[in-house]
Structure 1
Amino acid sequence: MILDKLITTFDTGLRTIFAQAVAGRERPDVNIEEMPLSESQRSQAASLMRINHVGEVCAQALYSGQAFTSRNPQIVQSLQHAADEETDHLAWCEMRINELGGRKSLLNPVWYVGSFALGATAGLMSDKWNLGFLAETEQQVSNHLNNHLNKLSDADIKTRTIVSQMQQDEAAHAAEAKQLGANDLPQPVKAGMKLASKIMTTTAYYV
């Protein structure tokens, strides 16, 4: 059983970092025509989507770490459901980055390892705190995506549509975690998570 979990967890990490993600859902912008964008608009959108792609890499690592150490089958199932939708996001971000002429972060392996460690630590906590970590992570990501919607050009309808669907999914994941009994994390923990997120997003915008 432990060996199976180790193999599955290692495989998830390799596929997340090195393989092209395959979405289970159709891209939300599939029927939207590409509008002309200036070079600066395309460059900014590509950089923002690189940040979002890093966020999805971290999400996969967090969920994988939490599921690896959690002993509650219901929580593991909830984590797997969220991870499946995050895989869609991962694929959508990568495809959109390519269309915009951008690239993925060179530090994805670093982001993954660090996030997996955080997730595994959270999974060792009580169920309510584990869920609280999940809920707070999703809430912060949802807020972060909403901020990106304010930065993206109104003309870039395709990118905006993808980000909007991602934001809705993240908010739903946070709500599900709270419904399952998540504890509200202490303010110092939330502040620490926000600081770590700020460092990651600032770095990923350029690297």
Structure 2
Amino acid sequence: MNNQPTHSRRYSPLDRLLINTDQALRTLFGRPSTTERRNPAAGLMEPDLRDEQRRHVARLMRINHTGEICAQALYQGQALTAKLPETRQRMERSAKEENDHLAWCEERLNELGDRKSLLNPLWYAGSFAMGAAAGLAGDKWSLGFVVETERQVENHLDDHLGQIPVHDEKSRAILERMKADEVRHAQIAKAAGGADLPAPIRAAMKLTSRVMTRTVYWV
């Protein structure tokens, strides 16, 4: 009988593939595992929004929800191919915190009476592939990919905070907490040895993000 603690168990590549498949299904169609942190919007009053304001805020939250789908896929792809166990564990912990964001965005979407993007499976698959490729390139590049991703998400959240009505404290509280987490994730990845990505890769990431946000706003 193996009395080794569960957290120290060594998983085979096949084990990790099956775990990632389960996580993908939970992320896209179920309820992924979270840290059980309290939703920062809990207890705040629902704002009185005009119909066009509600639609716009809902579409922004849909973008943020899909962004968290992509972040989850990136982290899982990196965790699958990361070479050092410490790096893999760091990715998995960050991914679980990103699941908090996913749950908060979905809850806010439901409150606003809107739906998730129909393209989420497509964006998950593409982001997972990008994360796996980053992991294969080496841990310093994988961590550097996290740093750049989180920096771009931080800028993206700043833009949305500027578009949300001032009196929509619920949406604002969620985005502000998300932004603080993204900043911290980038700092952790940088301190762990993340390398600065080449300019062409950073530009390609920005272009991909722009395509995603403009598409998901409508679909």
Shorter-normalised TM-score: what interval? Answer: over 0.9
Counterpart of 1:146 in structure 2 is 158
> Is 1:99 aligned with 2:111?
yes
> Is 1:172 aligned with 2:162?
no
Unaligned runs of 5+ in 1: none
Counterpart of 1:78 in structure 2 is 90
CA drift of 1:21 comes to 4.0
What letter corresponds to residue 58 of structure 1 in structure 2?
C
Could you give the per-residue CA deviations for residues 43-94 of structure 1, whole angstroms, max 9, x where no partner exists? Answer: 1110000000000000111011001011111111211111111100000000
What letter corresponds to residue 9 of structure 1 in structure 2?
N
CA drift of 1:186 comes to 1.0
> Separation in 2 of the partners of 1:97 and 1:22?
19
Could you give the per-residue CA deviations for residues 172-206 of structure 1, whole angstroms, max 9, x where no partner exists? Answer: 10111111111111111101100000000100000
> Separation in 1 of the partners of 2:43 and 2:108?
14
- RMSD, matched Cα: 1.0
CA drift of 1:33 comes to 1.3
Counterpart of 1:134 in structure 2 is 146
Alignment equivalent of 2:126, drawn from 103, 114, 121 = 114
> Separation in 1 of the partners of 2:32 and 2:102?
6
> Is 1:39 aligned with 2:40?
no
> Separation in 2 of the partners of 1:82 and 1:33?
30
On the 8 A contact 2:77/2:132 being kept in 1, the answer is yes
Counterpart of 2:21 in structure 1 is 10
Between 1:10-19 and 1:26-35, the stretch displaced more is 26-35
On the 8 A contact 1:61/1:112 being kept in 2, the answer is yes
What letter corresponds to residue 16 of structure 1 in structure 2?
T
Counterpart of 1:188 in structure 2 is 200
On the 8 A contact 1:22/1:91 being kept in 2, the answer is no
> Separation in 2 of the partners of 1:2 and 1:177?
24
What letter corresponds to residue 70 of structure 1 in structure 2?
A
Counterpart of 2:216 in structure 1 is 204
CA drift of 1:2 comes to 2.0
Counterpart of 2:4 in structure 1 is none
When the two structures are superposed, what TM-score results if normalisation uses the length of structure 2? 0.92
Unaligned runs of 5+ in 2: 1-11
CA drift of 1:165 comes to 0.3
The structure number with the bigger radius of gyration is 2
Alignment equivalent of 1:19, drawn from 12, 22, 30 = 30
> Separation in 2 of the partners of 1:120 and 1:3?
15
> Separation in 2 of the partners of 1:2 and 1:71?
11
When the two structures are superposed, what TM-score results if normalisation uses the length of structure 1? 0.97
Counterpart of 2:70 in structure 1 is 58
> Is 1:163 aligned with 2:145?
no
> Separation in 2 of the partners of 1:205 and 1:171?
24
